[in-house]
Amino acid sequence: MNCMNYNIDDYLPILSNNNPKAKIKEIPDDFLVEEIDLNGDVLEIGKKYVFDNKKSGDFFIFVLEKNDIDTFMAIRSIAYKLGISKDKITVAGMKDKKAITAQKASAHKMKKEQFEKLIIPKIKIKPICYDDKVYLGALKGNRFTITIRNIDLTIKKTKEHLEKRNKELNGVFLNYYGEQRFGSSRPITHLMGKYLLTEDIKNAVKTYISYTNKNDTNEIKKNRENAFTDLETAKKRFPKSCVYELDMILHLIDNPGDFLGALRKIPRPLRKMFVSAYQSYIFNRALFELSNNNLIKNDTNVPVPGYLFESRIFSDDAEDMIENILKKEKIKPSMFKVQYMPEISSEGTKRKAYAKFKNFKIMDVTKDDLNNGKTKATIRFSLDKGAYATVFLRQFFNI
């Protein structure tokens, strides 16, 4: 199966501007993400925590620090080492892969001593206490410390540009979902979501296993594209890092034609994220059109469509735009109630058209040690949960 490559404008339609070009995430140390918990405390990277013996509960609470690994794989690695189900471990938020991040997590009916013995590459576990479960979304936001590289401006001009754009933005920016939502290296999560909503399970499985992008080597492209003509060979040639693809391939070898069973080899949170990504795609397209036509204000809320979207008496510009895009996509709101896989159903919600940023600070601007003749800048800022640092950075640079 030959899968086409998707341009970023397909799912993140931010207008190009006169901002200078730059690069982010050249190394994980360039992208630091520290979760801000519900109390407003920053879970600082490298911080030492004193375990609170006074608290009690059925869940072991800890700070999960990870380096260049995504949250799903970090949870999977911990669960594997402990010999437990990955469903026993929960986190407050999903964090970037190519980054160093700190976030709150919990483990049901587990003891601190079991975690203290773990040695897992790229992962650090810092015990906090025993308490109630950490639920997804139970955070205020994130603090980011990011180094932007390969800037083709002098140190002085870079500082001036950052200061100017910060002043122009005046604390807000358009609240697009970022590329991480769609897969930074393999932007297919929204495509997977549409396949699931339309019950095209076979193409969902094929896309997940066979999709290639321009950065893949010829060998990787060949292995992925030929996977369905020779599953046995694919089993041998796929790298072990392709955990879910290999799980699906092995299932299809043992159960030919059972594409739904193969799809269920992908963890439930990730399957649910496919639908969320498709909702995000619809939202981004709507926000782009609404912004271009001056139909939004700072307090405008735009629907993230789900099965409750059709239960409306009155509508506004944002809802009309969503409705028009869904019609073009040939998607009915009722399709977000997925009968064959209820756990990925979504009623929908609303999302602010503009996001706020706080505590913006230029930490340092100097010569770029990785790109000769270029400049790098390190900035720090905080965003509320759900807002994307990569989208914010695009207000300053063409990345």
Catalytic residues: 96
Please give the structure tokens belonging to residue 20. 């200078």
DSSP string, 327-372: HHHT--GGGGS-TTSGGG----EEEESEEEEEEEEEEEEEE-SSST
Shortest CA distance to 355 belongs to which of 316, 393, 385? 385
Three-state SS annotation for 226-285:
CCCCCHHHHHHHCCCCCHHHHHHHHHHHHCCCCHHHHHCCCCHHHHHHHHHHHHHHHHHH
Residue 59: CA count within 13 A, CB half-sphere: 17
The SS3 assignment for 376 reads strand
Please give the structure tokens belonging to residue 265. 């080899």
Residue 53: CA count within 13 A, CB half-sphere: 0
Give the span between the Cα atoms of 10 and 94, in whole angstroms.
23
Residue holding tokens 């003891």? Answer: 111
Please give the structure tokens belonging to residue 128. 């906090």
Residue 88's CB is within 10 A of a number of other CB atoms, namely 17
Give the span between the Cα atoms of 92 and 138, in whole angstroms.
5
Which H/E stretch holds residue 144?
strand 141-151
Residue 315 neighbours by CB under 8 Å, 6+ apart: 323
Three-state SS annotation for 81-140:
HHCCCHHHEEECCCCCCCCEEEEEEEEECCCHHHHHCCCCCCEEEEEEEEECCCCCCCCC
Shortest CA distance to 321 belongs to which of 289, 353, 349, 274? 289
